Amino acid sequence: MGQPVDRGSHQGRPRRGRPRRVPRCSTGRDLPDDRRHLGRRMRARTQTRERTPRRRHHAPAVRAGGTLLMSNPVRPLRAVPTDGAQSGWEPPLPLAIVRELPAFPVDALPPWLGEQVDAVAEAIQTPADLPGCLALAALSTAAGGRAIAKVRPGWDEPVNLYTVVVMEPSERKSPVFSAMIRPIYALERKLRTDAKTSIAEAKVQRRAVEQMLAQAEKNVSTHHGDEREAALAEAVDAATDLAKMEVPSEPKLVVDDITPEAVATVLADQGGRLAVLSDEGGIFSIIAGRYSGQANTAVFLKGYTGSQLRVDRNNRPSELVENPALTLGLTVQPAVIDELGETAMLRGSGFLARILFAMPTSMVGHRKTRPDPVREPVEHRYNDRLHTIAAALLDWTDEPATLTFSASADDLMAELQAEVETRLARGGPWRHIGDWGGKYAGQVARIAGLLHAAEYPHNAWEHPISGDTFANAWRIGDYYATHALATFDQIGSDPVLDNARHVLAWIERTRPTTFTRRDLFSALNRGRFKRATDLDAPLALLEEHGHIQHQPAPDLAGKRGRKPSPTYWTHPAYRTDTT
């Protein structure tokens, strides 16, 4: 269906991971001919790369109107004994389907960027996902706060991104960070060197005005009459001049180990532009409230949207940051993702909806012992292009550079928006991640703006964003969408599935042979299950998967009294008495 993308120097270059599957629309049907034609580059299969098989991630099934949809049909209930006997039960199905996560589409990047990603992944023997996500974070650091993507009149998107890569320890994250972020630190050092003279001049001028103010105030206290009035006027003028004087802060593009409060302060000092890049991701836990017990997301919410931010300082007046632009490029361990389900504020505030998550397949146990190093021309080209992008946009401080969508890019965006609406509809595959899906179109627009800046590093604002560039951004967006589903599955975003797991944990802990719904309701948390009927959906889900079996209700014809609570047998694997 799809054809390989013609990316010049990408031809013949080995790709990492399994070939990308031909995409399907949200209903599961093959894409229409016009879509295949328009999005051919976007939907192309990646070339086969020497890599281990992609990880199969257990993700919950998609529910449509309360019905669980599985990739493999649930076994018929006839496979479960109707008398609760020990024998005759089949093994229960897991409360998940197997979701195959795609590899990062390296060939969707401009050649100079894709070459660096592939070379670093090969040299360090890491999934291409990590350097791929960091490549976008590096672009975001270089261009964020200095450019916007104009999709159409009334719709502008800043081009800064939040990326989080979920990886186990010992995955060689630090050397990948060093290889991909090194040009940003080099740029920061250059900016600091260039700013030394202007900072020194500003300090000298401020000290001179401070001395003038001190002398004028002294004259006010020692003079009388007209001389005192003149001294007073001089003191007022000096105080006014001093209040207007700002000593520029030393340029800082990147921070690492920092609190959200400090992020706001540094963001104000840097004119509203900053990147938080870390291979440890400790700040992610701090944002989640690991130590304070309360999520602290305000600066990150506004730093993503560009909304006005007020920064309160110690011993200094508060300051307004008009158009803050934050970049996040983090890696976290899977345990951090597991804990996010316990911090409702992070999800409720919209912070998680702003993040592009990636969950790469581990290469541990399959890594080469003598891989090819990164070639110097590839590394130098990567460094030079990043510096060129940053230098070209450096002076766009009052008004950001505008990267305008072409007509063909806008047409594809309209197609994407229509597809997103289908996915977000009731019963759609994105229904349970509507907060993330609602920002998906804007995320793809931001990615398109960054890819465009990478294609035209000297003067991106003089060229429209092409349909091909948007198609590549859409491919990257599709990659992140699948990984977002897996991430939110792990967090626990489907309430019925999450409740079913909660009930199953009780069964595994207490190991009853039978139980009633009333017994279960009495034993579980009333904060989660406020009414006994709230258990019906998770119990039905567990029954569909063969973990329990509903016991037929007794014949009560002609009898009076309260209707008995529904009774369930448990799978023999969960019973204490297995004789």
Instruction: Identify the burial level of 325 via C-beta atoms within 10 angstroms of its C-beta, where 0-12 means exposed, 13-18 middle and 19 or more buried.
Output: buried
Give CB contacts under 8 A, 24+ apart, made by 440-444.
440/416, 440/477, 440/481, 441/413, 441/416, 441/417, 442/157, 443/161, 443/356, 443/477, 443/480, 444/413, 444/416, 444/470, 444/473, 444/474, 444/476, 444/477
Q: How many CB atoms lie within 10 A of CB 461?
A: 18
What is the pLDDT at residue 60? 42
Mean pLDDT of 51-65: 40
Q: Rounded to whole angstroms, what are the CA distances from 308 to 53, 300, 355?
A: 46, 12, 20
pLDDT recorded at residue 81: 57
Using the predicted structure, report yes or no on whether residue 236 has a pLDDT greater than 80: yes
pLDDT tens digits for range 251-271: 899 998 788 888 888 888 888
Give the containing element (helix H, strand E) for 496: helix 495-510
pLDDT digits (tens, 9 = 90+) for 501-535: 889 989 999 999 999 999 999 998 777 888 999 99
- Per-residue pLDDT, averaged over 132-140, amounts to 97
Q: Specify the pTM.
A: 0.72
Does residue 20 surpass a pLDDT of 60?
Answer: no
Q: What's the pLDDT at 321?
A: 84
In the prediction, which pLDDT does 78 show? 41
- Other beta carbons less than 10 A from residue 369's beta carbon: 5
Instruction: Count the helices and strands in the chain (H runs, E runs).
Output: 18, 17
Are 252 and 300 in contact by the 8 Å Cβ rule? The answer is: no
Q: What is the mean pLDDT of residues 129-149?
A: 96
pLDDT at 463 over 90: yes
Q: Which residues contact 135 (CB under 8 A, 6 or more apart)?
A: 109, 113, 116, 117, 180
Tens digit of each residue's pLDDT (9 = 90 or more) over 312-364: 766 666 778 888 999 999 998 888 887 776 666 677 788 999 999 999 999 99
The CATH architecture that domain 495-574 belongs to is Orthogonal Bundle (1.10)
Q: Which residue ranges make up each domain of the chain?
A: 8-60+96-169+320-491, 495-574
